[in-house]
């Protein structure tokens, strides 16, 4: 194995695609950094004590300012355990950031005024603290979009492999 790869598990890098181990380590580091960022930015915005999933849920519910069903939230965030989203919604509702309702038999979730204000402050902090730092790195914005598309495509491969592993 080349020493050029940055991996956490050399034994997994000894494969036909060692770059995948490098990617997985980068995704792990990025995932943890992103979760830390979301939680700390949300606290700085005035809503401390939230998990990364709760932060994602409140932003998704705020998206386009229209109610979302639990199924919609799970689908968009690629969460297969509905009870995790349901618990997140209960916590967010208890803090006055979202409200729940019904659309026929389906439970819906809507943003509150307080939730909108928190999302706005979060966005302002994100712009000032994070986006200015990312801009300073000098990456081409098209490269960032291509990377996002690549990660979305790779997520499908991981999902498919997870289904195959579950069927074994």
Choose among 4, 28, 33: nearest CA to 130: 33
State the DSSP code for 15: S
In sequence order, the 6+-apart residues with CB closer than 8 A to the CB of 44 are 125
What is the number of structural domains in the chain? 2
Pair (168, 102) in one structural domain: no
Q: 1 falls in which pLDDT band (50, 70, 90)?
A: very low
The predicted pLDDT at position 146 comes to 97
Confidence of residue 21 (pLDDT cuts 50, 70, 90): confident
pLDDT tens figures, 121-168: 999 999 999 999 999 999 999 999 999 999 999 999 999 999 999 999
In eight-state DSSP terms, residue 167 is T
Indicate whether 105 and 166 sit together in one domain.
no
- Tell whether pTM > 0.75: yes
> Pairing relation of β-strands 68-69 and 98-103?
unpaired
As a whole number, mean pLDDT of residues 52-62 equals 98
Residues 63 and 143 placed together within one structural domain of the fold: no
């Amino acid at each position: 194995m080349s020493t050029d790869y940055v991996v956490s598990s050399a034994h997994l890098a000894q494969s036909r695609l060692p770059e995948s181990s490098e990617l997985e380590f980068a995704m792990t580091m990025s995932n943890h950094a992103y979760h830390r960022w979301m939680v700390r930015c949300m606290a700085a915005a005035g809503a401390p004590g939230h998990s990364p999933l709760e932060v994602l849920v409140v932003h998704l519910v705020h998206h386009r300012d229209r109610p979302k069903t639990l199924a919609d939230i799970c689908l968009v965030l690629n969460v297969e355990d509905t009870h995790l989203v349901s618990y997140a919604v209960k916590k967010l509702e208890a803090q006055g950031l979202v409200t729940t309702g019904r659309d026929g038999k389906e439970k819906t979730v809507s943003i509150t005024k307080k939730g909108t204000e928190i999302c706005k402050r979060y966005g302002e902090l994100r712009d000032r603290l994070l986006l200015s730092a990312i801009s300073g790195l000098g990456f081409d914005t098209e490269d960032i979009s291509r990377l996002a598309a690549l990660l979305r495509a790779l997520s499908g491969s991981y999902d498919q492999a997870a289904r195959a592993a579950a069927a074994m």
